[in-house]
Amino acid sequence: MSSRDDKGGVARRNFLNLAVGGSAAAFAVAGTYPVVRYLEPPPGRARSASRVGKIEEFPVGSVRTVVVDDRPVHVIRTADEVRAFSAICTHLQCVVAYSAEHKQFECPCHGGVYALDGRNLEGPPPRPLEELTVTIDEGYVLVSASG
Amino acid sequence: MTAPDLPSKPGGWLAERLGWASIASRLGGYSMSRRGFAFYLGGITLFLLVVQVASGILLTLYYQPDAAYAHGSVERIVGEVAYGDLVHAVHSWTADLFVASLFLHLFTVMIRRSFRSPHELSWLTGVALLALGVGQAFTGAVLPWSERAYTHARIGSELARYVPLVGGWLHRFMRGGEDVTSSTLAHAFGFHVAVLPAAVALVLSGHLFLLTRRPVQRPPQPNAESIPLYPDFFVRQGVALTGAMVIVLTLAIFVDRPLGPVADPRVSSAPDAQPPWYFLPVHAIVRAAPKELLGIEGPRFLVGAACVMGLAFVALPFLDRRGSRVTAWAAWVLLVTLLLLSLRALS
Amino acid sequence: MRSPSPLLLAVFAGLLALLGAVPAARAVVPAPSAAPSTNGAASVPLASRSLPSPMNATNTCASCHATLTDTKLRTPAKEYAHSAHRDDRIGCVGCHHGDPRDPTVGAHAKSMGFEPHPTHVEVPQICGGCHSDAAFIRRLNGRLPVGQAALFTLSLHGKLTAAGDGVAPDCSTCHGKHDIQPPSSPLSPVNRTNVAKLCSGCHADKQKMAGYDIRTDQFEKWKKSVHGQAFAAGNPNAPTCTSCHGAHASTPPDAASVAHACGRCHETEMQLFEQSPHSQGFRRRGLAACVACHSNHDVARASAIMVGTGPDATCMKCHNNDEKPRRVADEISNLLRGARERAADARAAVARATTAGLRVSGAPYSLDQVATAETKVRSVVHTLDPARVQAVVSDIESAADETQRLVQSAERNRRLERRGYYAALGLGALLLLALSLKAMDLDRRRRQGGS
């Protein structure tokens, strides 16, 4: 009789241990999931075009570096148009600099070179610089955050 | 029967490598009282502290401690970050429950006079933890930089000015300068996430170390049923902690705590600006206090009196006479007074 | 010891020079170069004014009149002391003539051109005498414009005054006399903030306007208008009387010119209106462009109810019985109503989400786009071209739809999160139950073991 009691006791004990362990694990997972999701930053907000200055501030033949949505952008004014290129190198995201001497963009990190129309000329960059849309509105130059 | 209740199959491999059997048998050697909510309060407080640290660390990922961005960043946490509303609500509710369980823990210790020799150091570290906990609550309430937070910072730091001897210093210290400004927020943030937590870690390790050196005695009740610390007390403590967690989650999910509008010094302090509940007794006294008492400015007198009481509170283990019931009575009187004052402040 | 710095030396030398110059200047004043040409010529006062005469530097008129007991004689001297003309090179003599060097009644000599009360007709000539002289004005205050007197002669006010009309204003009516202040001063009656009160002082006075065929309700109407309310609210761009009517050359805009007055601020609306069929039609019939629908002084806040065939629609003032205009009005009205409802729904959705503590990422931006397109549609309506209105309305609608989509997806996520919370709470309850049973089992076994 006592042995049967023992058997029932052991079975109950095992079941209870399993129930405690199982529900504790499930509760822990339920708690971990929101934390993991929380750690992932929410998507950035959609942005409109940013005013970067008056058209007179961009003389013909000049290259000026402005900041659009916290990112560097080269604005180039030629005789007949204004163009904007993201200053982020397509190789490993360094900021490329304008070289007035060579009339080209040069990446100081790994030697990438781009033409003034964004084409990747030399070095490791796999793609041309990203071109951004430029609008001239009431004498102001607007650069949109994406091409 | 050395390890009576080991989950033999799944955990056996790990248990063997950790040498769990010997730990369990040592823990099983201690005995605890089976009854008495008081014995679970310390554990609950510790658990809530862990929840606070965890949720607080998560909040620092998105919080920006600058008067221009603070409120917006909290709005972003609550409104935009996935489960940010949950993390924020858990941190906010657990703060309240943490202070509540700290107070209860201290009151039960007072009533049971568990601070008597050789536990004076446990009492002193405990009171220090209470002070640090209130400091955490104060600095934490400033961080959202809402209208309420701003008023809270103004009043709280102004009251500190009346503390005898160190008031002026404390006042400047809490404001991070002469007035409540963006610097106050930066100061409060530094204290909330670095200085005070470090102090809590230090004092708490002392508190817990003392517990292992001088385990709390069972109450001198002859017919009290005693149980081994492990596994019986641990399982019961587990019930208490799970219950606390479920309460925290229920409050966080179902009871909204609105953030309120952003602090604007041009807006007059809101008339219904109520402090967090644990400052309600202070609120009631400050509101009812006359301009002058015994020729001393009202606030100075009250804060001074509170400081004297606080010192007596700290020195309790050394003032207490064996066999006297005065301490227990004083604890009850204090508790009832604080409750009545809180009710008064709410009405 | 180091030698003193060149700068210190220069300053010291400058001070010495000043000390020397002051007595020298005093010595010059009592011996003026007489300038006989100044005197006598009353019709062209101060002919040599291209060189301000230092003789006026002693203004005995003011110092004497300030001591007189007769208020009428004393006040001008006191007022002059804080006026814009309080420069002793101008002095009282600048307008009244006479001889300020004579400390006796001789100063009032008619032979010196003394003129105690310049007439209505004379005042513009006196003021213009200096203010039309560019070389002179530049010497005293380079920022002052010149030519106000010439402009004034072109205005209706100026013509009436020159013709001897007793009610029409001269310069001093608006600018003040002895206490004249620069227009930039808030004390000046012609300051932007005071000018409406100044104009209405005459133009709202039925008695003063009785002799002229002119209304007197403009000021009251303007106060109630969208312009007047914006002005009262402190908007620095809100138009007051002079914004449309001009100041010195003030001439009421007529039907043909009113659009240009409005178009100075409402440029886009004017251009689009000129592209509309109304532009030609109004001109043929002599209707005033903007005023026909918006009225003038009591211009109300423009709203969509102005377009359509309803009782409040301005279109029906003329087109009540015209079939095609009625159809176009209905079409545009329907487009506007649709856009307004969609925009309102989108705003309500965002407000609902915000109340529920939800911050919808991207919604403020798409609501901005809605608002931008709404501003645009208010201009485009002036073309009366349903196709062009439709193009902007579809911008509003797509931005509003985008907003709705963002709100709905945020709400759906919120609902999913809620369900997850309930599941987690359920698991917590389960753990609580399992632990409680475990505790009871341990109690039972301990008691069995103990007994």
Name the residue ranges covered by the structural domains of chain B.
32-259
Longest dimension (CA), chain A: 104
- Phi, psi angles (nearest 5°) of residue C66: -65, -20
The reported pLDDT for the residue numbered B13 is 79
Share of chain C above pLDDT 90, in %: 24
- Count CB atoms within 10 A of the CB of residue C271: 13
The reported pLDDT for the residue numbered C393 is 93
**By the 8 A CB rule, do B87 and A34 touch?**
yes
**Reported confidence tier of residue C45, pLDDT bands at 50, 70, 90:** very low
Task: Tell how far CA A4 is from the center of its chain.
Answer: 67
- Phi, psi angles (nearest 5°) of residue A142: -110, 135
Summarize pLDDT for B129-175 with one digit per residue, the tens. 999 998 999 999 999 999 888 888 888 888 888 888 888 888 888 88
The reported pLDDT for the residue numbered C426 is 94
What mean pLDDT is predicted for residues A13-24?
A: 90
The reported pLDDT for the residue numbered C339 is 92
**By the 8 A CB rule, do B62 and B81 touch?**
yes
**Reported confidence tier of residue C349, pLDDT bands at 50, 70, 90:** very high
Summarize pLDDT for B75-114 with one digit per residue, the tens. 889 888 888 989 999 999 999 999 999 988 888 888 877 7
Task: Tell how far CA C370 is from the center of its chain.
Answer: 28
Terminal alpha carbon distance of chain B: 59
For residue C106, give every residue at least 6 positions away whose Cβ sits within 8 Å of its Cβ, in sequence order, or none. Answer: C99
Between CA B193 and CA B88 the distance in angstroms is 15
d(CA A139, nearest CA chain C) in Å? 15
Q: Do C421 and B256 touch (CB under 8 A)?
A: no
In a domain, C330, yes or no: yes
Summarize pLDDT for C141-199 with one digit per residue, the tens. 778 888 888 889 888 899 898 888 888 899 999 998 888 988 888 889 999 889 999 99
What mean pLDDT is predicted for residues B253-274?
A: 77
| Interface residues of chain B, partner chain C, Cβ below 8 Å | 5, 34, 75-76, 78-80, 82-83, 85-86, 227-228, 231-232, 235-236, 238-239, 242-243, 245-246, 249-250, 253, 256, 258
The identity of residue A27, as a single letter, is F
Summarize pLDDT for A128-147 with one digit per residue, the tens. 999 998 988 777 888 887 65
Between CA B125 and CA B138 the distance in angstroms is 20
**By the 8 A CB rule, do B77 and B63 touch?**
yes
The reported pLDDT for the residue numbered C16 is 46
The reported pLDDT for the residue numbered C13 is 52
The SS3 assignment for B264 reads coil
**Reported confidence tier of residue B278, pLDDT bands at 50, 70, 90:** confident
Domain span at residue C386?
324-426
Question: Which of these ranges, B19-23, B32-36, B305-309, C55-59, has the smallest mean pLDDT?
Answer: C55-59
Residue that wins the pLDDT comparison between B16 and B191: B191
Would you state the torsion angle of the CA atoms of residues C260, C263, C264, C266, taken in this order, to the nearest 10 degrees?
A: 170
What mean pLDDT is predicted for residues C244-259?
A: 80
What mean pLDDT is predicted for residues B116-136?
A: 89
Would you state the torsion angle of the CA atoms of residues C375, C378, C380, C384, taken in this order, to the nearest 10 degrees?
A: 170
Picking from A13, A20, A38 by the largest number of C CB atoms within 10 A of its own CB, the best residue to mutate is A20
The β-bridge relationship of strands A50-54 and A71-77 is unpaired
Q: Do B246 and C428 touch (CB under 8 A)?
A: yes
| pLDDT over threshold 90, residue C81 | no
Residue that wins the pLDDT comparison between C1 and C238: C238
| pLDDT over threshold 90, residue A39 | yes
- Say what the pTM is: 0.68
d(CA C362, nearest CA chain A) in Å? 5
The reported pLDDT for the residue numbered C77 is 86
| pLDDT over threshold 70, residue B279 | yes
**Reported confidence tier of residue B315, pLDDT bands at 50, 70, 90:** confident
Between CA C120 and CA A108 the distance in angstroms is 78
Between CA C268 and CA C254 the distance in angstroms is 21
Neighbours of chain A (3+ CB pairs under 8 A): B, C
Tell me the CA distances in angstroms from C54 to B29, C17, C34, C269, one per residue in order: 113, 21, 10, 56
Task: Tell how far CA C396 is from the center of its chain.
Answer: 31
Between CA A37 and CA B84 the distance in angstroms is 9
- A15 lies within 8 A of chain C by CB: no
What mean pLDDT is predicted for residues B55-67?
A: 94
Between CA B185 and CA B68 the distance in angstroms is 10
Strands (E), A46-124: 50-54, 63-68, 71-77, 82-86, 97-99, 104-106, 113-114, 120-122
The identity of residue C378, as a single letter, is R
Share of chain B above pLDDT 90, in %: 31
Residue of A nearest to C441 (CA): A13
Quickly list H helices, C275-322.
277-285, 291-294, 316-319
Domain count, chain C: 1
- Report the CATH fold assignment for B32-259: Cytochrome Bc1 Complex; Chain C (1.20.810)
The reported pLDDT for the residue numbered C12 is 53
Between CA A27 and CA A19 the distance in angstroms is 12
Residue of C nearest to A27 (CA): C427
Name the residue ranges covered by the structural domains of chain A.
1-40, 50-143
| pLDDT over threshold 50, residue C32 | no
Cα–Cα nearest to C114, from C50, C222, C38: C38
**Reported confidence tier of residue B271, pLDDT bands at 50, 70, 90:** low
Q: Do B82 and A37 touch (CB under 8 A)?
A: yes
The reported pLDDT for the residue numbered A146 is 65
- Phi, psi angles (nearest 5°) of residue C172: -70, -20
**By the 8 A CB rule, do C219 and C199 touch?**
yes
Report the mean per-residue pLDDT for chain B: 83
**By the 8 A CB rule, do A34 and C420 touch?**
yes
Picking from C271, C370, C427 by the largest number of A CB atoms within 10 A of its own CB, the best residue to mutate is C427
Residue C25: Cβ-neighbour burial (10 angstroms; 0-12, 13-18, 19+): exposed
Between CA C104 and CA C257 the distance in angstroms is 57
**Reported confidence tier of residue C101, pLDDT bands at 50, 70, 90:** confident
The reported pLDDT for the residue numbered C36 is 39
**C107-111, C189-193, C445-449, range with greatest mean pLDDT:** C189-193
Residue that wins the pLDDT comparison between B62 and B290: B62
Q: Do A45 and C365 touch (CB under 8 A)?
A: yes
How many Cα atoms sit within 13 Å of C128 on the Cβ side? Answer: 18
Q: Which residues of A touch B4 (CB under 8 A)?
A: none
Q: Do C425 and B232 touch (CB under 8 A)?
A: no
What mean pLDDT is predicted for residues B44-65?
A: 95
Between CA B282 and CA B288 the distance in angstroms is 10
The identity of residue A72, as a single letter, is P
Q: Do A33 and C428 touch (CB under 8 A)?
A: no
Residue C439: Cβ-neighbour burial (10 angstroms; 0-12, 13-18, 19+): buried
The SS3 assignment for A88 reads strand
The reported pLDDT for the residue numbered A46 is 56
Q: Do C431 and A31 touch (CB under 8 A)?
A: no
Pick the CATH number of A50-143 from 2.60.40.2550, 2.60.40.10, 3.40.50.300, 2.102.10.10: 2.102.10.10
Between CA A20 and CA C237 the distance in angstroms is 73
- Phi, psi angles (nearest 5°) of residue C194: -105, -10
Angle formed at CA C247 by CA C242 and CA C250, multiple of 5 degrees:
95
In a domain, C408, yes or no: yes
Copy the structure tokens of residue C296: 């003038």
The reported pLDDT for the residue numbered B241 is 94
| pLDDT over threshold 50, residue C75 | yes
Copy the structure tokens of residue C283: 């001109």
| pLDDT over threshold 90, residue C82 | no
In a domain, C81, yes or no: no
| pLDDT over threshold 50, residue B243 | yes
The reported pLDDT for the residue numbered C56 is 47
Give counts: helices (H), strands (E), chain A: 1, 11
Report the mean per-residue pLDDT for chain A: 86
For residue B144, give every residue at least 6 positions away whose Cβ sits within 8 Å of its Cβ, in sequence order, or none. Answer: B70, B71, B74, B259, B260
**Reported confidence tier of residue A68, pLDDT bands at 50, 70, 90:** confident
**By the 8 A CB rule, do C101 and C32 touch?**
yes
- C421 lies within 8 A of chain B by CB: yes
Q: Which residues of A touch B242 (CB under 8 A)?
A: 27
Is the N-terminal amide bond of B215 cis, ω within 30° of 0?
Answer: no
**By the 8 A CB rule, do B274 and B147 touch?**
no
Q: What is the ipTM of this complex?
A: 0.81
Between CA B270 and CA B99 the distance in angstroms is 25
The reported pLDDT for the residue numbered C52 is 47
**By the 8 A CB rule, do C272 and C380 touch?**
yes
The reported pLDDT for the residue numbered B140 is 93
The reported pLDDT for the residue numbered B3 is 46
Copy the structure tokens of residue C111: 């032979």
| pLDDT over threshold 50, residue C232 | yes
The reported pLDDT for the residue numbered B229 is 81
Cα–Cα nearest to C380, from C277, C265, C268: C268
**Reported confidence tier of residue C85, pLDDT bands at 50, 70, 90:** confident
Cα–Cα nearest to B99, from B186, B185, B41, B60: B41
Angle formed at CA C312 by CA C310 and CA C318, multiple of 5 degrees:
80
Q: Which of A9, A17, A48 sits opposite C445 (nearest CB)?
A: A9
**Reported confidence tier of residue B53, pLDDT bands at 50, 70, 90:** very high
What mean pLDDT is predicted for residues B165-192?
A: 88
d(CA A90, nearest CA chain B) in Å? 29
The reported pLDDT for the residue numbered C450 is 55
Share of chain C above pLDDT 70, in %: 87
The reported pLDDT for the residue numbered C2 is 47
Helix, strand, coil share (%) of chain A residues, nearest 5: 30, 30, 40
Neighbours of chain C (3+ CB pairs under 8 A): A, B
The reported pLDDT for the residue numbered C340 is 92
Picking from B6, B83, B91 by the largest number of A CB atoms within 10 A of its own CB, the best residue to mutate is B83
| pLDDT over threshold 50, residue C29 | no
What mean pLDDT is predicted for residues C229-238?
A: 88
